Homo-oligomer: A and B are copies of this chain.
Amino acid sequence: MNRDKRQKRTTIYDLAELAGTSASAVSAVLNGNWKKRRIGSQLAERITKLAEEQGYAVNMQASLLRREKSKLIGMIVPKYDNRYFGSIVETFETMARERGLFPIITCTRRDPELEMEAAREMLSYQVEWIVSTGATDPDRVTDLCAAAGVRSLNLDLPGSKAPSVISDNFAGSRELTRRVLVNYERKLGRKSPLLFIGGRGSDHNTSERIRGFVAAHLEMGIDVDGHHILACGYAPEKAEHALEALRTEEGGVPMGMFVNSTISLEGVMRWITRSGHTGPMAPTLGCFDWDPFVALLCDDIEMVRQDVPAMLASVFEIIEAGSTTGSLVQIPPVFVTSC
């Protein structure tokens, strides 16, 4: 009877026996609908006390099996190595919990197969929603979910088959580019185009940001060099190598840059340091993303911070409304006036 090392967990049947009552009474009391099920308040109190004493915890597996709703919500996220995704995850967890949902989060390291595998696993756990964040192929996840009758939603990168919440990449990028162009002109003493670096040309965000980048140049009467748009991928090394490759070419590397994420910025900074472009040689920068140390330590940089709280507020609005259309919500990012 007494709790041993390898004991079985306390169940409602154990409590029922201890309380000299039935399992259904115990169940009713512990999940709060004992009033509806007309259990006397004295018995209720006795059961509650016993449960506490015995350290009882529901077996969610059993409970969820029986119930119709699981209250589980899944999120797929590419990486935990930057502030943007970190705050997405943290905010998501908090907001899910506030709504009585249990968040399950999985990091897929930008691996398309792992994304699908993780989604499949979440479906096994009977999640009610899957939020695909920055997924390489959101529509595949949506299809998988749809086949299982589970709702899904895209965050950060849009898909065509489920509602998507993303930053307003075009407007954000145009404004960021404008600001960097102004800084660059002030520094050089003349107008000159920027280099665009980072991201994948095939993803919506990158192409929208390129569109904004080009628009801002146009508006300021500056020609863009197509050859200076390097959507070389997200990994730091890719940005570093791309710059290094450019250096040996004719014209070299422009000393004004639009960097497409903090991850790419890491590579850019590495290149800057290694190639000795520091101090007065330092390039004029803009970064579509935010990092506190960069904001503090780098003086010639403009950063846009994606509005994570607003994005997730929108995500949960959609979830609460239960919408499934392929709508696209674009959240304006915030310009950080570096301290």
Which of A's residues lie within 8 Å of B, judged by CB? Answer: 3, 5-9, 55, 57-62, 64-65, 70, 79-83, 85-87, 89-90, 93-94, 102-107, 109, 120-121, 123-126, 144, 147-149, 236, 262, 265-266, 269-270, 273-274, 291-294, 296-298, 339
Contact = CB atoms under 8 A, between A and B. Distances in A.
A270 B293 contact: no
A104 B107 contact: no
A60 B294 contact: no
A149 B270 contact: no
Given A80-B89, A90-B107, A294-B293, A149 B60 contact: no
State the oligomeric state as a number of copies.
2
Contacts of A62: 61, 65
A6 to B, nearest CB: 7
B124 A109 contact: no
What 4 A-B pairs come out closest when comparing CB atoms? A80-B86, A297-B297, A55-B147, A293-B293
A91 to B, nearest CB: 10
A273 B273 CA distance: 21
B57 A65 contact: no
A47 B55 CA distance: 43
B93 A87 contact: no
A303 B62 CA distance: 49
A138 to B, nearest CB: 18
A147 B62 CA distance: 20
Contacts of A6: 149
B93 A86 contact: no
A275 B82 CA distance: 27
A57 B7 CA distance: 31
Nearest to A150: B9
Contact of A104 (B104, B120, B124): B104
A307 to B, nearest CB: 17
A258 to B, nearest CB: 18
A55 B148 contact: yes
Given A61-B64, A269-B292, 20 more contacts: A3-B149, A6-B149, A7-B149, A9-B126, A9-B149, A60-B125, A60-B126, A61-B65, A61-B125, A61-B126, A79-B90, A80-B80, A81-B83, A82-B86, A93-B106, A102-B121, A262-B293, A269-B297, A273-B296, A293-B294
